[in-house]
């Protein structure tokens, strides 16, 4: 199945959480001079026009990034710098996806590996980012691509795993891939995004990861309302393996504030917890 298009959802609250975490990972890994590899298993189109027919249809960004005002979020300065770079005069016409956000951090010694299976999005990704030599774009299965790259020559990597989960087996498959990836390269930083549509899928993912033998796992989740099966996505989260030591404290400060601004009602909630220690 390849029906999912992120252009309908760009800039929503799930993107806000995902990209805040990603930026924290990238800021930390670039503190050291040594090169690293960025691997994105489901890269999407790279850039999204919020004036497009797709974005206008659902206008999810209006309940996401549009609700955050730069002057109220000094702790997200880098995030807003990246947004400003792609929007004129303080507007919000375009929302950069993870591949373009990552370009803000990549240096000459770093590499970006971008996988996208949807033919139209892969074509758009090439148009949006293909001229940048540090970006390698592959129109193929990102799960297989990730495993083929590990361990990277640099021995340092940030991996973003961000499937659509339109195929329900993805909930189990992502855990299988993470376990195999960790076995091949246990020192990499892995960031797994997930939607909460049916909480039982997430509970199963967590149990499997906790029992997998993988160390140093943290979880961050933002729920805009209480779990409601059958109503679509009501929360989204990030599970990070080998997080920077600064990440938990940063998110513990940000998540209550994000929940108060992006929550739909009084049942909005967040999670900020360590699933597995050292």
Return the active site residues.
162
The residues pairing with 274 across neighbouring beta strands, listed in sequence order, are: 218
- Whether omega before 136 lies within 30 degrees of 0, making that bond cis, reads no
In this structure, are residues 112 and 38 in contact, taking their beta carbons and an 8 Å threshold? yes
Least Cα distance to 195 among 42, 25, 39 occurs for 42
Look at strands 189-196 and 47-49 and give their pairing: unpaired
DSSP characters for 85-136?
HTSGGG--SEEE-HHHHHHTT--TT-EEEEE--SHHHHHHHHHHHTT-TTEE
Residue recorded with tokens 């990836």: 181
Residue recorded with tokens 């699933």: 275
- At 38 the three-state DSSP class reads strand
Euclidean distance between the first and final Cα of the chain, in Å? Answer: 38
Separation between Cα atoms, residue 106 and residue 30, nearest integer Å: 8
Residue recorded with tokens 């195999």: 180
In this structure, are residues 55 and 64 in contact, taking their beta carbons and an 8 Å threshold? no
Neighbours of 16 (CB within 10 A): 23
Tokens (6 digits) for 28: 């930390």
């Amino acid at each position: 199945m390849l029906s999912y298009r992120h252009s309908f959802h760009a800039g929503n609250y799930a993107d806000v959480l995902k990209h805040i975490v990603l930026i924290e990972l990238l800021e930390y890994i670039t503190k050291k001079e040594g090169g690293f590899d960025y691997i994105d298993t489901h890269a999407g189109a790279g850039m999204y026009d919020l004036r497009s027919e797709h974005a206008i249809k659902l206008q999810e960004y209006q309940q996401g990034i549009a609700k955050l005002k730069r002057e109220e979020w000094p702790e997200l300065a880098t995030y807003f710098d990246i947004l400003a770079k792609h929007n004129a005069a303080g507007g919000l016409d375009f929302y950069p996806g993870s591949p373009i956000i990552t370009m803000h951090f990549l240096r000459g010694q770093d590499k970006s590996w971008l996988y996208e299976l949807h033919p139209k999005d892969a074509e758009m990704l090439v148009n949006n980012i293909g001229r940048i030599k540090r970006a390698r774009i592959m129109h193929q299965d990102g799960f297989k691509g990730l495993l083929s790259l590990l361990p990277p020559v640099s021995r340092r990597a940030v991996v973003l795993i961000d499937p659509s989960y339109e195929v329900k087996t993805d909930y189990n498959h992502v855990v299988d891939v993470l376990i195999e990836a960790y076995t091949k390269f246990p020192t990499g930083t892995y960031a797994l995004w997930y939607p909460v549509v049916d909480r039982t899928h997430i509970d199963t993912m967590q149990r499997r990861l906790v029992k997998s033998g993988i160390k140093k796992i943290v979880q961050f989740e933002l729920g805009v309302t209480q779990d409601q099966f059958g109503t679509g996505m009501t929360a989204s989260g990030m599970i990070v393996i080998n997080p920077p030591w600064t990440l938990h404290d940063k998110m513990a400060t940000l998540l209550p504030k994000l929940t108060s601004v992006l929550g739909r009602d009084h049942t909005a909630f967040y999670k900020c917890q360590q699933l597995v220690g050292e």
